[in-house]
């Protein structure tokens, strides 16, 4: 009986494992293998150079600069979308009539693809016809107008804000689902103890959504670490690498400069960081439970 049960489980696991192995594990192993070679992607000969690509990455100033930009992405993605999503979820949860309308309207940015979001915000930031500069001129703040995506000092933050606009609806919806699982008796107890709305939110709502917050933060971390589409669509990593992130730099080195082996090594470095961070998040969540 036990063997039959195990056989039934294997029959369900094997197809998924085969697909995962073919489309995830196998390409990853091939990427690791390529990272030890010098290869242009077309030549039939791959030159073994061992850790040469990794040593080159350690000396690559642009790589470390791109990594620092990813840290900015991580900071903004961990703080802004989750905070905004939580506040909006708490507000929408209090709405008694027309809640569906609010959900639909606030969730709309997330429906758009990142490429479309990049195009939209590229128009918003346009120095000549963009609505941002037009509004600043209309209110007498023309001194603040600038080519937002062409200014090395603000390009990275400008791209990040577009990402925040796209990401906060997802956090809001997840928090709304989490709020439905909060025990109503906790709110009743807080009300009896004389807690006001802000105190109830801080001491009841936020702690009750701890696991939801951990899930959102882990997803936001990985998303920020592997950011590509918005940067590539809006700035291409410019100006002068001011908004370059690891993913765009990998693409340029591997497919534009034709250093496929070096690009593979950078990809492995990125994967190691992402896997380590994911493991830490999971460990912290399990420890908390």
Q: Which two tokens stand for residue 258?
A: 């034709």
* pLDDT of residue 95 exceeding 90: no
Q: Identify whether residues 2 and 96 lie together within a single domain.
A: no
Q: pLDDT averaged over the chain?
A: 89
CA distance 175 to 81: 12
Which segments within the chain are labelled E, that is strand? 37-38, 47-48
How many domains does one find in the chain? 2
pLDDT digits (tens, 9 = 90+) for 163-208: 999 999 999 999 998 888 888 888 888 888 788 878 888 888 888 8
Q: Identify whether residues 145 and 60 lie together within a single domain.
A: yes
Q: Identify whether residues 254 and 242 lie together within a single domain.
A: yes
Q: Identify whether residues 28 and 97 lie together within a single domain.
A: no
Q: Identify whether residues 29 and 128 lie together within a single domain.
A: no
Average pLDDT over residues 79-84: 93
Q: Identify whether residues 166 and 216 lie together within a single domain.
A: yes
- The b-or-e profile of 49-62 (16+ CB within 10 A means b, else e) is beebbbebbeebee
Q: What is the pLDDT of residue 217?
A: 86
Q: What is the pLDDT of residue 41?
A: 83
Q: What is the pLDDT of residue 194?
A: 81
Is 89:172 a contact under the CB 8 Å cutoff?
yes
pLDDT digits (tens, 9 = 90+) for 231-263: 999 999 989 899 999 999 999 999 999 999 999
Q: Identify whether residues 18 and 79 lie together within a single domain.
A: no
Q: Identify whether residues 136 and 101 lie together within a single domain.
A: yes
Based on the number of CB atoms within 10 Å of its own CB, is 198 exposed (0-12), middle (13-18) or buried (19 or more)? Answer: exposed
Residue range(s) defining the domain that contains residue 28: 1-33
Q: Identify whether residues 29 and 64 lie together within a single domain.
A: no
Is 77:220 a contact under the CB 8 Å cutoff?
yes
pLDDT bin (cut points 50, 70, 90) of residue 94 is confident
CATH code for the domain of 156: 1.10.3720.10
Between 278 and 177, whose confidence is greater? 177
Q: Identify whether residues 99 and 213 lie together within a single domain.
A: yes
Q: What is the pLDDT of residue 288?
A: 61
* pLDDT of residue 160 exceeding 80: yes
Residue 264 Cα to chain centre, angstroms: 21
Is 237:289 a contact under the CB 8 Å cutoff?
no
Q: How many helices (H) and strands (E) does the chain have?
A: 15, 2
Q: Identify whether residues 145 and 15 lie together within a single domain.
A: no
Q: Identify whether residues 150 and 214 lie together within a single domain.
A: yes
């Amino acid at each position: 009986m036990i063997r039959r049960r195990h056989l039934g489980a294997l029959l369900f696991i094997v197809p998924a494992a085969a697909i995962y192995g073919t489309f995830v594990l196998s390409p990853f192993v091939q990427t690791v293998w390529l990272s030890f070679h010098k290869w242009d992607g077309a030549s039939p000969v791959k030159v073994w150079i061992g850790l040469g690509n990794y040593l080159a990455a350690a000396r690559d100033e642009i790589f470390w600069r791109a990594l620092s930009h990813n840290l900015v992405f991580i900071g903004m993605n961990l703080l802004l979308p989750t905070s905004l999503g939580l506040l909006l979820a708490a507000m929408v949860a209090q709405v008694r009539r027309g809640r569906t309308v609010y959900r639909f309207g606030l969730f709309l940015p997330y429906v758009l693809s990142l490429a479309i979001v990049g195009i939209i915000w590229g128009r918003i930031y346009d120095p000549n016809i963009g609505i941002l500069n037009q509004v600043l001129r209309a209110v007498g703040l023309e001194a603040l107008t600038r080519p937002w995506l062409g200014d090395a000092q603000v390009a990275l933050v400008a791209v990040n804000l577009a990402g925040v606009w796209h990401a906060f609806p997802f956090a809001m919806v997840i928090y709304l689902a989490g709020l439905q699982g909060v025990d109503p008796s906790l709110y009743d107890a807080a009300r009896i103890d004389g807690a006001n709305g802000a105190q109830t939110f801080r001491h009841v709502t936020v702690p009750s959504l701890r696991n939801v917050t951990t899930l959102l933060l882990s997803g936001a971390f990985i998303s920020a670490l592997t950011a590509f589409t918005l940067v590539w669509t809006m700035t291409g990593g410019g100006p002068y690498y001011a908004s370059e992130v690891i993913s765009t730099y990998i693409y340029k080195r591997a497919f534009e400069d034709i250093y496929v082996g070096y690009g593979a090594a950078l990809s492995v470095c990125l994967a190691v960081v992402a896997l380590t961070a994911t493991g830490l998040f999971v460990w912290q969540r399990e420890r908390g439970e």
